[in-house]
Structure 1
Amino acid sequence: MTGKTHIMAGITATTAIVAITDAYQPEWFIAAGAVGGLLPDICHSGSKIGRRFPAISKVVNTIFGHRTFTHSLLFLVLVAFVLSKFVSNPSITMGILVGMVTHFILDAFTKQGIKLLYPAKVTIRFPFAATTGGKAEGIVLLALTVVTLYYANNILALF
């Protein structure tokens, strides 16, 4: 999936959570969801986040490759641990983690799949796959946008 779809998925999930609960600060939670939606692609130098942090991306890719460690439950737990030690705002921490989970789900819909159980070499993918940047991804992006607008409207109605 492309960066814009990953960003929108993070925004969609966090916006829906804000609309359903009042557990998080919306502005921090939703922004963090967008960041979390990009974070697993730090392993890919051509990704939005990889281009922003090329040295880190190169090192991570050299050590692990693409869609392995940074697309795993191990990475999710490691990020959760680091954030719990250095970020005092739970809206930011949880937003990043929610965004990461949406990233994992979307990339499991690609032909390459993800190594969710890394270091195990098991590839996780859904039985039907989308091509990155293809028509199916465009439909997913449109659907995510519509869902975001729906929940954002519900949030605004509360004010």
Structure 2
Amino acid sequence: MTGKTHLTGGLALCVAADTFWLTNSATPIYYVAGMAGALIPDICHIHSKIGRRLPLLSRVISSLFGHRTFTHSLLFLAIWALIFYLFFGDYLMVRDGLMLGMISHILLDATTIRGVRLFYPLNIRFRLPLYIRTGGAIERVIFFGLSIFILFYSIETIIKWL
């Protein structure tokens, strides 16, 4: 998936969680964290949006693990959750947004032909049954659908903030 689809997916999952589970109690930082979290797993790809912003870190992670392995796994999510639990327990909106963004990223990449190594370090590729080519027409449809979802379900929240 491309960066814009990941950003939209992270935001859409945050909107869905806020709309259906959090009862519209999220703050703007929650949504920003969701979009940031949606980019974090691609730190393993030196040409990604986050990889270009943090090139040294991206090269190190890429050389150690490769693309769509450790940073696209349940282990990676568990480590992030543990770090937040231990050091940032009072920042629930940031934690929840980041985690939802990373989950959306991994799910979206699981819809691609290459899939992800969800159970890293096991060498098992996980791919959803319906998969697409990155940057193709179907990804554009997904991006458009996520955008419409965000607009439809965010209007009430935006009005509340104003």
Q: TM-score range by the shorter chain?
A: over 0.9
**Structure 1 position 24, deviation (Å):** 4.8
Paired residue type of 1:19: T
Within the candidate set 84, 97, 100, 1:98 is matched to 100
SS of the aligned residue for 1:113 comes to coil
Aligned residue runs from structure 1 range 63-102, under 5 A:
63-87=64-88, 88-102=90-104
Structure 2, unmatched stretches of 5+, are: none
1:45-71 alpha-carbon deviations (Å, 9 max, x no partner) = 000000010000000000000000000
Structure 1, unmatched stretches of 5+, are: none
When the two structures are aligned, how many residues end up with a matched partner? 159
SS of the aligned residue for 2:122 comes to coil
Paired residue type of 2:14: T
Do structure 1's residue 12 and structure 2's residue 16 form an aligned pair? no
1:88-144 alpha-carbon deviations (Å, 9 max, x no partner) = 310001110001110111000001100000000010001222111110000000000
* Percent of residue pairs identical: 39
Tell me the distance in 2 between the aligned counterparts of 1:95 and 1:85: 17
Aligned residue runs from structure 1 range 127-146, under 5 A:
127-146=129-148
Tell me the distance in 2 between the aligned counterparts of 1:124 and 1:106: 12
**Aligned Cα RMSD in Å?**
1.5
4+ residue runs over 4 A deviation = none
* TM-score, normalisation: structure 1: 0.94
Paired residue type of 1:91: M
Tell me the distance in 1 between the aligned counterparts of 2:135 and 2:17: 27
Tell me the distance in 2 between the aligned counterparts of 1:91 and 1:45: 29
Tell me the distance in 2 between the aligned counterparts of 1:109 and 1:66: 15
SS of the aligned residue for 1:124 comes to coil
